[in-house]
Structure 1
Amino acid sequence: MTIALFRIDPRDSVATTLRDMKTGETALGVTLSADVPKGHKVAMTPVTAGEPVLKFGFPIGRATQAIAPGEHVHTHNVRTALEGSGSYRYAPSHEPAAAFHGPGFLGYRRADGRVGTRNEIWVIPTVGCVGRTAQKIAERAARLHEGQIDGVHAFAHPFGCSQLGDDLDGTRAILTALANHPNAGGVLIVGLGCESNQMNRMLEGITHPNIRTLGAQMASDEVEEGLALVEALIEGAQATRTPVPLSELVLGVKCGGSDGFSGLTANPLVGRMSDAVTAAGGTAILTEIPEIFGAEQLLMARAENQAVFGGIVELVNGFKRYFTDHGEAVSE
């Protein structure tokens, strides 16, 4: 018999349906008073109007009316508890994970000491106007050199033209960081010639030892010239994987499209992976800050010290202010 309801924390006032459930079905000691779709919430305990609704042992909203056990808990009877910039108290409650002593991984040690998990050729356009050119070069090169390198990839984007000031600086900083990434064994920078994001300014911040450049407006056949440059990059990018401790790994995590089961499956798995990597001395990078709205206190409780806690508060409140300053609700 399959499990129909899953209660994450014994303190939770709701459980998640693991399949479509019908009125009158009983599971975990409650009887449903309505049909509830898969991935939705069912009340496990009585919740009074205005009382927090708990999931993961944490408030996820407030009841807008009294909710009896077995009722469907959704937007018709719960409202968000998210607010604009908030006041938070440092209350550490997380015990660090035990040091990880398992195996490391096979990586590519770079000249600057960093380690890549892949050895690829990256084609980076300075401006969106040559994004398709970069893609054509990468697609053809990937077919021509299959098996000689881990991959050939283009990073097309719509930026680099008619940008000024901080806007342009931001684009340049991101593209420069990509060009210096340890997963790139070689980098081809493709420019147009008339863009705001001039190639020479980008090159000032690039330290990668295996780099080539291509100016589309100066080339007779930019794709063919690009293919020749990629071939040279591949020759200079040959490398061998060597054993590396987990402390050298940098793990980036990002929302990949949440549903009603993400918090039961993928999210805890990724969290445990992050705990293992950081316990070994590695690094986990959390992006997409608005995705943590509503759960930020759980992360703040894991802050190593008050200074780290203060940094998280400043970051989260800064994002929230950006929403409210532009007339947007932080829950949207």
Structure 2
Amino acid sequence: MKKYIKINKKDNVGVALCFISKGENVEIDGKKIEIKEDIKKGHKFSIETIESGKNIIKYGMPIGHSLKKIELGEWIHTHNLKTNLSDLDTYSYSNLNDFDLEKNKSRKVKVYSRKNNKIGIRNELWIVPTVGCVNGVGENIINEFKKRFDVSSLDGLNIFKHNYGCSQLGEDHINTRTILQNIVKHPNAGGVLVLGLGCENNQVKEFKETLGEYDSTRVRFLIAQDVEDEIEDGIKLLKELYDNILSEERVEKEFGELVIGLECGGSDGFSGITANPLVGEFSDYLVEHNGTTILTEVPEMFGAETLLMERCVTENVFNKTVDMVNNFKKYFISYDQCIYENPSPGNKEGGITTLEDKSLGCTQKSGISKVQDVLKYGEVVKERGLILLEAPGNDLVATTALGAAGSHIVLFTTGRGTPYGGFIPTVKISTNSELAKKKPKWIDFDAGKLLNEDVTMKNLADEFIDYIVDVVEGKKTNNELNNFKEIAIFKNGVTL
């Protein structure tokens, strides 16, 4: 295995693929370099002398500037590198030529076909509370239901607990209702019980009236305060839904019917080298087959947003992208928070130094496809192709937003590891093999294999596509096996 990688020919840094000791010599571009200090795996070192104030180049793009003169072979991190980014920027539209995507053989997948012509990849039974006050009630309904009926034929039986639905005003109240409504209508659910209390802001009556078109055979409503025994009434309604979906069977549909969310968390120095580029390959493959991928986590686009803007299919989409980015920056500013101090302690420990460093790696999940549309938080996907979604970088909030926008699955790349999962299958893709070996009950796919010289991107991408087809057709992800299924809703305003 090589000890380092130079990602782009323009780079003035190398990235250590393993621990490199002080005094070791490496050869890059025919030049021998003595390493001046210990370099941890995933961290950067200079491959040329960099004067104070000059740009540090990684992925062929600046990731910040040097705070002092950096000698050949020195470690580069937070002590000698600072971001170039400022608060608000202006952008100009420049439509690039189309990229050529590699043509691949089309394929079919076996999924559930819903009455509204959408597909689901699971046939699950859900309880969606309108307010956090009935979380316990919903849990008890499920526990008692499992005692009385065999649920082994279901792909899942879950309640998606949350803390909201009351004491919220304005946009927060609307966001809560909208996200929950989108979950209720999600095609991965064969049946949904909407469970209310009765006195909350998020009233079941208004919830139902604003729900839009839905399949009445798949949704039931219960207000706990209106009945004598909410547990028994809940079980009765769940049983009706259960009986309705038992006859559902998978049918063959085009691979391009899928909607896949793209996300990352706990990045390390390999995120932009292995897992994110692999997901980018998959995104391009799905888009090329008329499918849809959704990229979110707006703060993790800062510093790489122009790369996405250059790929916007029209000037209108470009303007929506600019608004999405600048509105999120204004959100930071409104709370007197620094926009560009995003990398977490875990990111920094793994070798990520600045937000540009993180973002240039993160946006590789989108591949090279054109951006077809931009969604506001809570909106459902309408176009096919690569879509951008307004949502924060918080793992749970972003995953929920992706699912609520219509994603059947979320592809989640990570260099640090996390056990959590959303209300839809959440595929954890490790950036390094050590994490995959250490946490086999968390990690679903090891992209760290790309660091082995005998593993090509093409071969691993083919393996990954096969794995995703298996998940689509029923293979459970680790978050499903562990029954780690959660939702989180974005909150900005006052709580009464």
TM-score by length of 2: 0.63
Deviation at 1:100? 4.3
Instruction: Give 1:316's match in structure 2, choosing from 318, 322, 325.
Output: 325
CA distance in 2, matches of 1:140, 1:81: 57
Secondary structure of the residue aligned to 2:163 is: coil
- The residue aligned with 2:16 is 17
Deviation at 1:93? 6.1
- The residue aligned with 1:38 is 41
- The residue aligned with 1:127 is 131
Instruction: Give 2:115's match in structure 1, choosing from 105, 111, 115.
Output: 111
Unaligned ranges ≥5, structure 1: none
Letter of the 2:117 counterpart: G
1:205-220 superposed matches below 5 A: 205-206=210-211, 207-209=214-216, 210-220=218-228
Deviation at 1:142? 5.8
Native 8 Å contact 1:96 1:279 kept in 2: no
Letter of the 1:10 counterpart: K
Letter of the 2:260 counterpart: L
Secondary structure of the residue aligned to 1:33 is: coil
Letter of the 1:328 counterpart: Q
Letter of the 2:336 counterpart: G
Deviation at 1:32? 0.9
CA distance in 1, matches of 2:241, 2:137: 18
Deviation at 1:234? 1.6
CA displacement 1:285-323 (0-9 Å, x = unmatched):
112211111111222222223332222112111111211
Alpha carbons of 1:49 and 1:158: their partners in 2 closer, same or farther (altered >3 Å)? Answer: same
Instruction: Give 2:51's match in structure 1, choosing from 43, 48, 52.
Output: 48
1:85-234 superposed matches below 5 A: 85-91=88-94, 92=96, 95-138=99-142, 141=145, 144-206=149-211, 207-209=214-216, 210-234=218-242
CA distance in 2, matches of 1:90, 1:31: 44
Structure number, greater radius of gyration = 1
Secondary structure of the residue aligned to 2:264 is: coil
Letter of the 1:170 counterpart: N
CA displacement 1:112-168 (0-9 Å, x = unmatched):
111111111121000011123323434554675432111112111111111122221
Secondary structure of the residue aligned to 2:306 is: helix
CA distance in 1, matches of 2:156, 2:219: 16
1:70-89 superposed matches below 5 A: 70-89=73-92
Q: CA RMSD in A?
A: 2.0
Letter of the 2:287 counterpart: T
Give me the identity figure in percent.
40
Native 8 Å contact 1:255 1:291 kept in 2: no
Secondary structure of the residue aligned to 1:254 is: strand
Native 8 Å contact 1:5 1:28 kept in 2: no
Deviation at 1:35? 0.8
Deviation at 1:96? 4.5
Secondary structure of the residue aligned to 1:87 is: coil
CA distance in 1, matches of 2:97, 2:47: 26
Task: Count the aligned residue pairs.
Answer: 331
TM-score by length of 1: 0.93
CA distance in 2, matches of 1:66, 1:108: 60
- The residue aligned with 1:284 is 293
CA distance in 1, matches of 2:325, 2:92: 14
Native 8 Å contact 1:139 1:153 kept in 2: no
- The residue aligned with 1:237 is 245
Alpha carbons of 1:133 and 1:287: their partners in 2 closer, same or farther (altered >3 Å)? Answer: farther
Letter of the 2:323 counterpart: E
Deviation at 1:94? 5.9
CA distance in 1, matches of 2:105, 2:118: 21
